[in-house]
Structure 1
Amino acid sequence: MHTVPDGLTFRDAVDADVDALVTLIESAYRGEPSRAGWTTEADILHGQRTDPEGVLAVIESPDSRLLTVERDGTVIACCQLEHRGTYAHFGMFAVSPGLQGAGLGKVIIAEAERLARATWGSTEMRMTVISAREELIAWYERRGYRRTGEMTPFPYGDERFGLPQRDGLQFELLVKPLA
Protein backbone atom coordinates (compact mmCIF):
# COMPACT_ATOMS: atom_id res chain seq x y z
CA MET A 1 0.00 0.00 0.00
CA HIS A 2 1.27 3.45 -0.91
CA THR A 3 -0.25 6.80 0.05
CA VAL A 4 0.35 9.96 -1.98
CA PRO A 5 -0.85 13.56 -1.60
CA ASP A 6 -4.58 14.22 -1.86
CA GLY A 7 -5.20 11.44 0.69
CA LEU A 8 -5.12 8.78 -2.03
CA THR A 9 -4.05 5.25 -1.18
CA PHE A 10 -2.79 2.95 -3.93
CA ARG A 11 -2.85 -0.81 -3.49
CA ASP A 12 -3.14 -3.94 -5.59
CA ALA A 13 -6.68 -5.21 -5.97
CA VAL A 14 -7.71 -8.43 -4.26
CA ASP A 15 -10.52 -10.87 -5.06
CA ALA A 16 -12.84 -9.12 -2.60
CA ASP A 17 -12.60 -5.92 -4.71
CA VAL A 18 -14.07 -7.44 -7.87
CA ASP A 19 -17.67 -6.25 -7.49
CA ALA A 20 -16.67 -2.70 -6.49
CA LEU A 21 -14.22 -2.50 -9.40
CA VAL A 22 -16.74 -3.75 -11.98
CA THR A 23 -19.25 -1.18 -10.70
CA LEU A 24 -16.62 1.59 -10.87
CA ILE A 25 -15.47 0.70 -14.40
CA GLU A 26 -19.01 0.39 -15.72
CA SER A 27 -20.01 3.71 -14.13
CA ALA A 28 -17.08 5.51 -15.74
CA TYR A 29 -17.78 4.32 -19.28
CA ARG A 30 -21.28 2.99 -19.83
CA GLY A 31 -24.87 4.14 -19.41
CA GLU A 32 -26.34 7.23 -17.83
CA PRO A 33 -24.11 7.28 -14.71
CA SER A 34 -21.06 7.68 -16.97
CA ARG A 35 -22.44 10.95 -18.37
CA ALA A 36 -21.57 12.66 -15.05
CA GLY A 37 -17.92 12.43 -16.10
CA TRP A 38 -16.14 13.22 -19.34
CA THR A 39 -14.74 9.75 -20.13
CA THR A 40 -18.09 8.23 -21.07
CA GLU A 41 -18.34 5.94 -24.08
CA ALA A 42 -22.15 5.86 -23.80
CA ASP A 43 -22.65 7.42 -27.23
CA ILE A 44 -20.46 4.92 -29.09
CA LEU A 45 -20.82 1.72 -27.05
CA HIS A 46 -23.64 0.16 -25.09
CA GLY A 47 -23.54 -3.04 -23.05
CA GLN A 48 -20.76 -3.96 -20.69
CA ARG A 49 -17.23 -2.61 -20.46
CA THR A 50 -16.02 -5.49 -18.28
CA ASP A 51 -17.33 -8.27 -16.09
CA PRO A 52 -16.33 -9.98 -12.84
CA GLU A 53 -14.46 -12.73 -14.70
CA GLY A 54 -12.38 -10.20 -16.64
CA VAL A 55 -11.49 -8.20 -13.54
CA LEU A 56 -10.62 -11.35 -11.58
CA ALA A 57 -8.40 -12.55 -14.43
CA VAL A 58 -6.40 -9.30 -14.23
CA ILE A 59 -6.10 -9.58 -10.44
CA GLU A 60 -4.87 -13.17 -10.64
CA SER A 61 -2.47 -12.78 -13.59
CA PRO A 62 1.17 -13.02 -12.49
CA ASP A 63 2.28 -10.38 -15.05
CA SER A 64 -0.44 -7.89 -14.23
CA ARG A 65 -1.62 -5.74 -11.38
CA LEU A 66 -4.89 -3.95 -10.97
CA LEU A 67 -3.98 -0.82 -9.10
CA THR A 68 -6.85 0.23 -6.85
CA VAL A 69 -7.11 3.82 -5.65
CA GLU A 70 -8.95 4.67 -2.45
CA ARG A 71 -9.82 7.81 -0.59
CA ASP A 72 -11.11 7.46 2.97
CA GLY A 73 -11.50 3.70 2.46
CA THR A 74 -13.67 4.03 -0.66
CA VAL A 75 -12.53 2.75 -4.07
CA ILE A 76 -12.61 5.76 -6.39
CA ALA A 77 -10.34 4.73 -9.28
CA CYS A 78 -8.33 1.90 -10.78
CA CYS A 79 -5.97 1.04 -13.60
CA GLN A 80 -4.32 -2.07 -14.94
CA LEU A 81 -0.60 -2.41 -15.44
CA GLU A 82 0.67 -5.40 -17.39
CA HIS A 83 4.34 -6.31 -17.71
CA ARG A 84 5.26 -7.01 -21.33
CA GLY A 85 9.03 -7.21 -21.50
CA THR A 86 10.60 -3.77 -21.80
CA TYR A 87 7.26 -1.98 -21.66
CA ALA A 88 4.14 -1.93 -19.53
CA HIS A 89 0.61 -1.88 -20.92
CA PHE A 90 -1.80 0.55 -19.25
CA GLY A 91 -5.51 -0.15 -19.33
CA MET A 92 -8.80 -0.52 -17.46
CA PHE A 93 -8.37 3.08 -16.27
CA ALA A 94 -11.43 4.36 -14.47
CA VAL A 95 -12.15 7.29 -12.16
CA SER A 96 -15.51 7.65 -10.47
CA PRO A 97 -17.57 9.95 -12.77
CA GLY A 98 -18.37 12.48 -10.04
CA LEU A 99 -14.65 12.93 -9.32
CA GLN A 100 -13.48 13.33 -12.93
CA GLY A 101 -12.03 16.64 -14.03
CA ALA A 102 -10.45 17.41 -10.63
CA GLY A 103 -6.90 16.30 -11.45
CA LEU A 104 -7.06 12.77 -10.02
CA GLY A 105 -6.31 11.17 -13.38
CA LYS A 106 -2.98 13.00 -13.64
CA VAL A 107 -1.93 11.79 -10.19
CA ILE A 108 -3.02 8.21 -10.90
CA ILE A 109 -1.32 7.88 -14.27
CA ALA A 110 1.89 9.37 -12.85
CA GLU A 111 1.84 6.79 -10.04
CA ALA A 112 1.17 4.00 -12.56
CA GLU A 113 4.18 5.12 -14.62
CA ARG A 114 6.35 5.28 -11.48
CA LEU A 115 5.29 1.77 -10.48
CA ALA A 116 5.95 0.34 -13.96
CA ARG A 117 9.50 1.72 -13.83
CA ALA A 118 10.15 0.72 -10.21
CA THR A 119 8.54 -2.73 -10.32
CA TRP A 120 9.52 -4.01 -13.75
CA GLY A 121 12.11 -1.55 -15.05
CA SER A 122 9.75 -0.65 -17.89
CA THR A 123 11.16 1.91 -20.29
CA GLU A 124 7.88 2.62 -22.06
CA MET A 125 4.16 2.70 -21.30
CA ARG A 126 1.72 1.64 -24.00
CA MET A 127 -2.04 1.72 -24.23
CA THR A 128 -4.78 1.44 -26.81
CA VAL A 129 -7.61 3.96 -27.04
CA ILE A 130 -10.62 3.98 -29.33
CA SER A 131 -9.43 6.35 -32.06
CA ALA A 132 -12.77 8.20 -32.14
CA ARG A 133 -12.15 9.35 -28.56
CA GLU A 134 -10.31 12.53 -29.62
CA GLU A 135 -10.81 14.37 -26.31
CA LEU A 136 -9.43 11.42 -24.34
CA ILE A 137 -6.47 11.02 -26.70
CA ALA A 138 -5.72 14.73 -26.34
CA TRP A 139 -5.71 14.28 -22.55
CA TYR A 140 -3.13 11.50 -22.87
CA GLU A 141 -1.07 13.61 -25.27
CA ARG A 142 -0.91 16.33 -22.61
CA ARG A 143 0.53 13.64 -20.28
CA GLY A 144 3.33 12.90 -22.79
CA TYR A 145 1.79 10.05 -24.80
CA ARG A 146 2.07 10.13 -28.56
CA ARG A 147 -0.16 8.72 -31.24
CA THR A 148 1.48 6.05 -33.35
CA GLY A 149 -1.13 5.68 -36.08
CA GLU A 150 -0.96 1.92 -35.42
CA MET A 151 -4.54 0.67 -35.42
CA THR A 152 -6.20 -2.58 -34.43
CA PRO A 153 -9.83 -3.38 -35.18
CA PHE A 154 -12.54 -3.19 -32.53
CA PRO A 155 -13.81 -6.71 -31.74
CA TYR A 156 -17.25 -6.31 -33.35
CA GLY A 157 -19.52 -9.19 -32.40
CA ASP A 158 -17.83 -9.89 -29.06
CA GLU A 159 -20.31 -8.52 -26.52
CA ARG A 160 -17.70 -8.76 -23.72
CA PHE A 161 -16.33 -5.47 -25.12
CA GLY A 162 -19.66 -3.74 -25.58
CA LEU A 163 -22.23 -3.19 -28.28
CA PRO A 164 -20.90 -0.70 -30.87
CA GLN A 165 -23.33 2.01 -31.90
CA ARG A 166 -21.49 2.83 -35.11
CA ASP A 167 -19.19 1.32 -37.70
CA GLY A 168 -15.49 1.98 -38.08
CA LEU A 169 -14.37 1.77 -34.44
CA GLN A 170 -10.74 0.88 -33.95
CA PHE A 171 -8.04 1.13 -31.31
CA GLU A 172 -4.96 3.32 -31.70
CA LEU A 173 -1.70 2.56 -29.93
CA LEU A 174 -0.36 5.40 -27.75
CA VAL A 175 3.16 5.26 -26.29
CA LYS A 176 5.24 7.20 -23.78
CA PRO A 177 8.91 6.72 -22.91
CA LEU A 178 9.43 6.33 -19.17
CA ALA A 179 12.53 8.11 -17.91
Structure 2
Amino acid sequence: MSTAHPASLSFRSAVEADVPELVVLVESAYRGDASRAGWTTEADFLDGQRTDEAGVRSIIEAEDGTVLAVERAGELVACCQLEHRGDHAYFGMFAVRPGLQGGGLGKEILAEAERFARETWGAKEMRMTVVNVREELIAYYVRRGYRRTGELSPFPYGDERFGIPLREDLAFELLVKEL
Protein backbone atom coordinates (compact mmCIF):
# COMPACT_ATOMS: atom_id res chain seq x y z
CA MET A 1 0.00 0.00 0.00
CA SER A 2 1.34 3.39 -0.96
CA THR A 3 -0.86 6.45 -1.04
CA ALA A 4 0.05 10.06 -1.85
CA HIS A 5 -1.70 12.83 0.09
CA PRO A 6 -1.85 16.61 0.12
CA ALA A 7 1.11 18.41 1.66
CA SER A 8 3.13 15.71 -0.11
CA LEU A 9 2.63 13.10 2.63
CA SER A 10 2.80 9.50 1.49
CA PHE A 11 1.70 6.44 3.46
CA ARG A 12 2.98 2.89 3.10
CA SER A 13 3.26 -0.23 5.18
CA ALA A 14 6.62 -0.32 6.94
CA VAL A 15 9.06 -3.13 6.14
CA GLU A 16 11.93 -4.76 8.02
CA ALA A 17 14.46 -2.25 6.62
CA ASP A 18 12.50 0.58 8.30
CA VAL A 19 12.87 -0.81 11.84
CA PRO A 20 15.97 1.13 13.01
CA GLU A 21 14.62 4.47 11.71
CA LEU A 22 11.17 3.80 13.21
CA VAL A 23 12.71 3.15 16.64
CA VAL A 24 14.63 6.44 16.44
CA LEU A 25 11.45 8.29 15.43
CA VAL A 26 9.33 6.82 18.24
CA GLU A 27 12.03 7.43 20.85
CA SER A 28 12.48 11.04 19.68
CA ALA A 29 8.74 11.73 19.98
CA TYR A 30 8.29 10.28 23.48
CA ARG A 31 11.51 10.16 25.45
CA GLY A 32 14.42 12.32 26.52
CA ASP A 33 15.30 15.90 25.73
CA ALA A 34 14.62 15.59 21.99
CA SER A 35 10.97 14.82 22.76
CA ARG A 36 10.55 18.11 24.62
CA ALA A 37 10.60 19.93 21.25
CA GLY A 38 7.13 18.45 20.65
CA TRP A 39 4.07 18.24 22.85
CA THR A 40 3.71 14.43 22.96
CA THR A 41 6.67 13.93 25.28
CA GLU A 42 6.39 11.47 28.15
CA ALA A 43 9.76 12.52 29.56
CA ASP A 44 8.24 14.00 32.73
CA PHE A 45 6.75 10.72 33.92
CA LEU A 46 8.54 7.96 32.01
CA ASP A 47 12.24 7.38 31.51
CA GLY A 48 14.04 4.60 29.67
CA GLN A 49 12.96 3.30 26.28
CA ARG A 50 9.56 3.60 24.60
CA THR A 51 10.18 0.71 22.24
CA ASP A 52 13.02 -1.29 20.70
CA GLU A 53 13.86 -2.98 17.42
CA ALA A 54 12.43 -6.35 18.51
CA GLY A 55 9.13 -4.72 19.50
CA VAL A 56 8.78 -2.76 16.27
CA ARG A 57 9.82 -5.78 14.18
CA SER A 58 7.15 -7.96 15.83
CA ILE A 59 4.44 -5.39 14.99
CA ILE A 60 5.59 -5.16 11.36
CA GLU A 61 5.66 -8.95 11.03
CA ALA A 62 2.24 -9.53 12.63
CA GLU A 63 -0.29 -10.90 10.13
CA ASP A 64 -3.17 -8.93 11.65
CA GLY A 65 -1.63 -5.49 11.51
CA THR A 66 0.69 -2.97 9.96
CA VAL A 67 2.85 -0.01 10.80
CA LEU A 68 2.04 2.93 8.57
CA ALA A 69 5.23 4.74 7.64
CA VAL A 70 4.50 8.37 6.77
CA GLU A 71 6.97 10.16 4.53
CA ARG A 72 7.34 13.64 3.13
CA ALA A 73 9.80 14.09 0.25
CA GLY A 74 11.15 10.59 0.93
CA GLU A 75 11.89 11.32 4.59
CA LEU A 76 10.21 9.42 7.46
CA VAL A 77 8.23 12.00 9.47
CA ALA A 78 5.68 9.90 11.34
CA CYS A 79 4.33 6.43 11.97
CA CYS A 80 1.48 4.56 13.64
CA GLN A 81 0.56 0.99 14.40
CA LEU A 82 -2.75 -0.47 13.25
CA GLU A 83 -3.94 -3.88 14.39
CA HIS A 84 -7.07 -5.66 13.14
CA ARG A 85 -8.99 -7.08 16.12
CA GLY A 86 -12.25 -8.48 14.78
CA ASP A 87 -14.87 -5.73 14.53
CA HIS A 88 -12.44 -2.99 15.55
CA ALA A 89 -8.89 -1.80 14.97
CA TYR A 90 -6.30 -0.82 17.55
CA PHE A 91 -4.28 2.37 16.98
CA GLY A 92 -0.93 2.72 18.70
CA MET A 93 2.74 3.69 18.50
CA PHE A 94 1.73 7.04 16.99
CA ALA A 95 4.77 9.25 16.55
CA VAL A 96 5.32 12.51 14.68
CA ARG A 97 8.81 14.00 14.52
CA PRO A 98 8.93 16.54 17.41
CA GLY A 99 9.84 19.57 15.29
CA LEU A 100 6.83 18.91 13.03
CA GLN A 101 4.22 18.49 15.77
CA GLY A 102 1.44 21.03 16.10
CA GLY A 103 1.15 21.68 12.36
CA GLY A 104 -1.79 19.44 11.52
CA LEU A 105 0.15 16.34 10.45
CA GLY A 106 -1.24 14.26 13.30
CA LYS A 107 -4.84 15.03 12.38
CA GLU A 108 -4.21 14.03 8.77
CA ILE A 109 -2.40 10.81 9.74
CA LEU A 110 -5.13 9.85 12.21
CA ALA A 111 -7.77 10.34 9.48
CA GLU A 112 -5.77 8.15 7.08
CA ALA A 113 -5.39 5.45 9.77
CA GLU A 114 -9.15 5.50 10.38
CA ARG A 115 -9.85 5.31 6.63
CA PHE A 116 -7.41 2.42 6.25
CA ALA A 117 -8.97 0.44 9.12
CA ARG A 118 -12.51 1.04 7.84
CA GLU A 119 -11.81 0.31 4.16
CA THR A 120 -9.22 -2.46 4.49
CA TRP A 121 -10.65 -4.41 7.42
CA GLY A 122 -14.24 -3.19 7.65
CA ALA A 123 -13.52 -2.03 11.21
CA LYS A 124 -16.54 -0.47 12.91
CA GLU A 125 -14.49 1.39 15.52
CA MET A 126 -10.96 2.45 16.38
CA ARG A 127 -9.62 1.85 19.88
CA MET A 128 -6.50 3.12 21.57
CA THR A 129 -5.06 3.33 25.04
CA VAL A 130 -3.49 6.53 26.38
CA VAL A 131 -1.57 7.01 29.62
CA ASN A 132 -4.18 8.41 32.02
CA VAL A 133 -2.11 11.42 33.16
CA ARG A 134 -1.81 12.74 29.59
CA GLU A 135 -4.82 15.08 29.80
CA GLU A 136 -3.67 17.29 26.89
CA LEU A 137 -3.24 14.26 24.62
CA ILE A 138 -6.57 12.74 25.67
CA ALA A 139 -8.24 16.10 24.92
CA TYR A 140 -6.61 16.04 21.45
CA TYR A 141 -8.26 12.68 20.69
CA VAL A 142 -11.60 13.76 22.18
CA ARG A 143 -11.59 16.74 19.77
CA ARG A 144 -11.19 14.22 16.94
CA GLY A 145 -14.24 12.19 17.94
CA TYR A 146 -12.79 9.72 20.43
CA ARG A 147 -14.80 8.95 23.55
CA ARG A 148 -13.29 8.45 26.99
CA THR A 149 -14.50 5.14 28.40
CA GLY A 150 -13.08 5.47 31.91
CA GLU A 151 -11.89 1.88 31.43
CA LEU A 152 -8.37 1.62 32.84
CA SER A 153 -5.79 -1.11 32.43
CA PRO A 154 -2.68 -1.29 34.61
CA PHE A 155 0.62 0.20 33.52
CA PRO A 156 3.24 -2.58 33.23
CA TYR A 157 5.35 -1.51 36.21
CA GLY A 158 8.57 -3.51 36.34
CA ASP A 159 8.69 -4.20 32.59
CA GLU A 160 11.34 -1.79 31.34
CA ARG A 161 10.42 -2.50 27.71
CA PHE A 162 7.67 0.10 28.30
CA GLY A 163 9.87 2.58 30.13
CA ILE A 164 10.83 3.36 33.69
CA PRO A 165 7.91 5.10 35.46
CA LEU A 166 8.70 8.25 37.42
CA ARG A 167 5.24 8.23 39.06
CA GLU A 168 3.18 5.57 40.84
CA ASP A 169 -0.26 6.51 39.47
CA LEU A 170 0.06 5.51 35.80
CA ALA A 171 -2.55 3.46 33.95
CA PHE A 172 -3.88 3.25 30.39
CA GLU A 173 -7.34 4.62 29.55
CA LEU A 174 -9.28 3.13 26.64
CA LEU A 175 -10.51 5.66 24.05
CA VAL A 176 -12.99 4.58 21.32
CA LYS A 177 -14.31 6.15 18.11
CA GLU A 178 -17.05 4.80 15.86
CA LEU A 179 -15.85 4.57 12.27
TM-score normalised per structure 2: 0.99
Say which SS state the counterpart of residue 156 (structure 2) adopts: coil
Say which SS state the counterpart of residue 25 (structure 2) adopts: helix
Q: Please tell me the root mean square deviation across aligned C-alpha atoms, in Å.
A: 0.3
Match for residue 19 of structure 1?
Answer: 20
Match for residue 8 of structure 1?
Answer: 9
Match for residue 91 of structure 2?
Answer: 90
1:48 aligns with 2:13: no
Match for residue 111 of structure 1?
Answer: 112
Give ranges in structure 1 of 5+ residues lacking alignment. Answer: none
Match for residue 145 of structure 2?
Answer: 144
Equivalent residue letter for 1:62: E
Equivalent residue letter for 2:41: T
After TM superposition, where is structure 1 displaced by more than 3 Å over at least 4 residues in a row? Answer: none
Instruction: Give the CA deviation at 1:168.
Output: 1.1
1:33-78 deviations in whole A, cap 9, x for unaligned? 0000000000000000000000000000000100000001000000
Distance 1:169 1:61 in 2: 28
Give ranges in structure 2 of 5+ residues lacking alignment. Answer: none
Distance 2:62 2:172 in 1: 23
Distance 2:37 2:130 in 1: 20
Match for residue 171 of structure 2?
Answer: 170
Say which SS state the counterpart of residue 125 (structure 1) adopts: strand
Distance 2:160 2:43 in 1: 15
Instruction: Give the CA deviation at 1:16.
Output: 0.3
Equivalent residue letter for 2:5: V
Distance 1:87 1:165 in 2: 32
Equivalent residue letter for 2:176: V
Aligned-residue sequence identity (percent) comes to: 69
Distance 2:64 2:6 in 1: 28
Equivalent residue letter for 1:128: T
